[in-house]
Structure 1
Amino acid sequence: MDMMVRNANRRVACEKWEDVVGPRIKKMLDKVGQRATQYRAHIGGEFVFQVTGFGENGSQHAIDLGLHTCTCKRWQLSDILCVHVICCKRFNKQEAVLYCHDYLMCTTYMQAYTPVINLIAGEDDWEPVDYPIAPPSFNKLLGRPRKKRILS
């Protein structure tokens, strides 16, 4: 019953989402997006960019939007956009949320919680059986039980 209620609650909560991704992911992207103003994107090709940071530690990162890679490796590890990719998306004037992985999208979330879990009747409603229900038979093995595991 708990699983049925949990799935129903998550289904209802997902229907209220206003964005393409969930509110938790959107909040993370907004927080990372605030830091994107500290970087500047330089285009190198159709999907290839180099992002440089301002200030003392002006880091440089190479981004390939076609292969979904960034040299900071955050995008590959979490499938949530890193600050460098968001900087590239703003340079292209594109929506950054669309480059998140499919499993973070609202549509995938709804597909996961669409199946309905049906209730099972309680013990009072079970049909009685005429034969006794016994545990499976146990056959004792011959010989002394092994004390150590075999290393090979």
Structure 2
Amino acid sequence: MTRHADMRRFAETWITDISPIARMTLEENKDASSRCKVLWNGDDGFEISDGDIKHVVDLRWKTCTCRSWMLRGIPCPHVICALYHIEQNPDDLVEHWYRKATFLKAYQYSIQTMPSMKMWPESENPSIEPPEPKPMPGRPKKCRRRAKDKPRKKFGKLSKKGVNMTCSKCHQLGHNKSACKSEVSHAYFESFLALFNVH
């Protein structure tokens, strides 16, 4: 509730018509514009050299190829360099949403005070109750709370790391039958058939 009054008092401390944060950004851009060089076409177009990069500024459409001016609403160093070349003030091209008048419009209405809830008049309207629970389809989930002293169940299988596997085909160590690359010997196959009386 007091924020609106605080913001109105804060606006009275502004040195200029532009907000302090926007003013700080504008002054930084003014300092950065000193390293730029300008070429003017005699109309509204400017070619600004900023090191190895060249930007195009159009004051009629309020555009710069760096796009900072269009995104932030504060003249970038390239625009300021062009404005200084034609002896115009960069402060005049700062967008209106950074002005004191726009700032005060956002806080022109105050939040009205109100008494405690205990002093509110009782309403004769029916009270709003939460809806009754509706049973959902399907088996209801069981919400079980584990006791503090109950040991937790271990999930997953034990690791077989370090266990020597024996192949059931060739009876060699180091692999199983799915990875076996050797064929079963004929003698072993014959003994297998004789064991189960397979003819």
TM-score, scaled to structure 2: 0.62
User: Cα offset for 1:98?
Assistant: 1.6
Which has the greater radius of gyration? 2
Please state which structure has a larger fraction of its residues in helix: 1
Q: Do the aligned residues in 2 keep the contact of 1:20 with 1:97 (CA within 8 Å)?
A: no
Alignment of 1:24-103 (within 5 A): 24-53=21-50, 57-103=51-97
| SS at structure 2 position matched to 1:19 | coil
| SS at structure 2 position matched to 1:25 | helix
Are 1:6 and 2:3 an aligned pair? yes
Match of 1:17 in 2: 14
Aligned equivalents of 2:133, 2:60: Cα separation in 1: 61
Q: Which runs of 5+ in 2 are unaligned?
A: 139-199
Paired letter, 2:116:
G
CA deviations over 1:96-135 (Å, ceiling 9, x no partner): 1221221111111111111111122211221124566232
Greater mean deviation of Cα atoms: 119-128 or 102-111: 119-128
Match of 1:148 in 2: none
Count of matched residue positions in the alignment of Structure 1 and Structure 2: 139
Q: Superposition RMSD on alpha carbons, in Å?
A: 2.3
Match of 2:109 in 1: 115
CA deviations over 1:29-71 (Å, ceiling 9, x no partner): 1112111111122222432211123xxx332110011111101
Q: Which runs of 5+ in 1 are unaligned?
A: 145-152
Moved over 3 A (4+): 129-132, 136-144
| SS at structure 2 position matched to 1:18 | coil
TM-score, scaled to structure 1: 0.79
